[in-house]
Amino acid sequence: MELSVYDIQGKDTGKKVTLNDSVFGIEPNDHVIYLDVKQHLANKRQGTHKSKERSEMSGSTRKLGRQKGGGGARRGDINSPVLVGGARVFGPKPRDYSFKLNKKVKALARHSALSYKAKENAIVVVEDFSFNAPKTKDFVAMAKSLNIDNKKILMVLPENNENIYLSARNLQRTRVITVSELNTYKVLDANQLVLLESSVALINNINA
């Protein structure tokens, strides 16, 4: 698959880049996409939730009423779960939600996500550029020139570029990452994928 390369003014430079069919042209596998996104979100969970159990509550351990004949449930002391303000039964405990996923599965999921973007014509290739200084209005002007200013953008750089990153940092619907940070969730979370020309070669060869 070939795409035209544009400059930051939105003009066609006349250059073309070829997208690797093994990365951008496969039949997407929805199940591995689900697994990869599930793992990504699970790994982000802190897992620090905690509620107090009966032994952790502060309060008298005096038995409030007789064992039988009260007409209600046995409730013991004031920390009983059947009372308002009492302990919680089987409440959440701190835990680790992360789980392992094979590298080949993650690679297939990433390729599937990129293939979806290619099928949807949601990929724009821009020739390599940099800003002289961090300026948000320059990034906004570029997005308008490329006619993507009303979309959720994911820009993929070949390597860190502080000026581009800082120029886009204040834009709510824009995220700038490097090729090494590219993952399934970030690709699917964006409406428009913006690749720098030199990023394409790196993505073509990543786990291809």
Residues 66 and 142 grouped into a single domain: no
Mean pLDDT of 103-109: 94
Residues 117 and 15 grouped into a single domain: yes
**Tens-digit pLDDT profile for residues 149-206:** 889 999 999 989 899 999 999 999 999 999 999 999 999 999 999 999 899 989 988 7
The reported pLDDT for the residue numbered 149 is 86
Is it the case that residue 208 has pLDDT exceeding 80? no
Q: Among 36, 70, 91, give the residue marking a domain's end.
A: 91
Contact (Cβ atoms closer than 8 angstroms) between residue 128 and residue 197: yes
207 — pLDDT class (breaks 50, 70, 90): low
The reported pLDDT for the residue numbered 1 is 81
- Lookup: tokens for 66: 């007789």
Look at the block and give the residue holding tokens 């059947």.
82
What residues make up the domain containing 151? 2-46+100-205
The reported pLDDT for the residue numbered 206 is 78
Residues 83 and 115 grouped into a single domain: no
Query: SS3 of 16, please?
Result: strand
Element (H, E) at 5: strand 2-6
Q: Among 26, 60, 91, give the residue marking a domain's end.
A: 91
**Tens-digit pLDDT profile for residues 32-42:** 999 999 999 99
Residues 131 and 162 grouped into a single domain: yes
Residue 109's φ and ψ, nearest 5 degrees, are -65, -45
- Lookup: tokens for 63: 């038995």
Contact (Cβ atoms closer than 8 angstroms) between residue 206 and residue 180: no
Residues 131 and 148 grouped into a single domain: yes
Residues 124 and 153 grouped into a single domain: yes
Q: Could you give the number of structural domains in the chain?
A: 2
Residues 146 and 60 grouped into a single domain: no
Q: Where residue 136 sits, what CATH number does that domain have?
A: 3.40.1370.10
Average pLDDT, rounded, for the chain: 90
Residues 42 and 58 grouped into a single domain: no
> Percentage of the chain with pLDDT > 90?
59
Residues 62 and 116 grouped into a single domain: no
**Tens-digit pLDDT profile for residues 57-83:** 888 888 888 888 888 888 888 999 888
Alpha helix stretches (DSSP H) within the chain: 21-24, 30-44, 103-119, 136-145, 162-168, 184-189, 197-205
Residues 139 and 177 grouped into a single domain: yes
User: Inter-axis angle of helices 30-44 and 103-119, to 10 degrees?
Assistant: 110
Cα–Cα dist 179/169, whole Å: 18
Spatial strand order of the sheet with 174-178 comes to 12-18, 2-6, 123-126, 192-196, 153-157, 174-178
The reported pLDDT for the residue numbered 107 is 93
Residues 132 and 67 grouped into a single domain: no
Residues 77 and 40 grouped into a single domain: no
Q: Among 72, 91, 110, give the residue marking a domain's end.
A: 91
The reported pLDDT for the residue numbered 97 is 95
Is it the case that residue 19 has pLDDT exceeding 60? yes
